[in-house]
């Protein structure tokens, strides 16, 4: 019996702010680089072929028949792990990297933090013009057997404002950008 595992590249996940729908896509290298689109609806993951064409349809159907249940479980567990961050009452960790960059006229403060209770890396981006905070999650996931997600996912829409505050609070006074952040984000 051949052991089958979740192997994908370019795993992406997006959540619609307005209706909370989670959608995304990934590529299956061992199935001729077929792109699979997915949507989570009422606790179920629905898959769709990302490209037209007979060969793509055949490869997608072959994957769907053999491996879809394993990928459903993986995606639902991934979403569950992110939403469980809301249940963490206090956050401890290490501030790994901080920088200030200018991008398209916006001043961005970027901080990367390793939390004790969260596998992977969390990246905060504070935009001083829009006053928005982006929270990105670099997590360890099986992507083409390299075991690291090459693209972080925006997760601030999956977290409560209170959770984001609790995540940020222990590091607010530790950053070298403390005073500029206080002044610019008021």
Answer yes or no: are the C-beta atoms of 95 and 116 closer than 8 Å.
no
CB-side neighbour CA atoms (13 Å) of 173: 2
pLDDT(29) > 90? no
**Nearest residue to 10 via CA among 32, 28, 30:** 28
**Nearest residue to 129 via CA among 185, 176, 49:** 185
Answer yes or no: are the C-beta atoms of 45 and 71 closer than 8 Å.
yes
Distance CA 171, CA 94 (A): 8
Distance CA 91, CA 62 (A): 43
What pLDDT shows up at residue 85?
A: 94
User: Which of left, alpha, beta for 113 (phi over 0: left; psi -120 to 50: alpha)?
Assistant: beta
**Nearest residue to 86 via CA among 38, 126, 135:** 135
Confidence grade of residue 184 (pLDDT, cut at 50, 70, 90) = confident
Q: In the numeric block, which tokens belong to residue 14? A: 């997006």
pLDDT in tens, 104-139: 888 999 999 999 999 889 999 999 888 889 999 887
Confidence grade of residue 145 (pLDDT, cut at 50, 70, 90) = very low
**Mean pLDDT, rounded, for 86-115:** 93
What pLDDT shows up at residue 142?
A: 55
């Amino acid at each position: 019996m051949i052991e089958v595992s979740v192997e994908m590249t370019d795993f992406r996940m997006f959540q619609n702010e307005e209706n909370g729908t989670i959608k995304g896509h990934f590529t299956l290298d061992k199935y001729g680089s077929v792109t699979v689109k997915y949507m989570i609806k009422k606790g179920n993951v629905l898959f769709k072929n990302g490209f037209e064409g007979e060969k793509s349809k055949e490869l997608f159907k072959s994957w769907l028949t053999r491996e879809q249940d394993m990928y459903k479980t993986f995606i639902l567990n991934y979403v569950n792990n992110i939403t469980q961050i809301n249940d963490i009452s206090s956050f401890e960790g290490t501030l790994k990297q901080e920088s200030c960059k200018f991008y398209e006229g916006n001043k961005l403060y970027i901080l990367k933090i390793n939390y004790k209770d969260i596998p992977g890396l969390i990246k905060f981006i504070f935009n001083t013009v829009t006053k928005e905070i982006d929270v990105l999650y670099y997590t360890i996931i099986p992507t083409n057997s390299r075991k690291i997600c090459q693209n972080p996912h925006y997760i601030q829409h999956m977290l409560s404002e209170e959770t984001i505050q609790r995540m940020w609070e222990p590091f607010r006074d530790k950053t070298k950008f403390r005073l500029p952040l206080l002044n610019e984000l008021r």
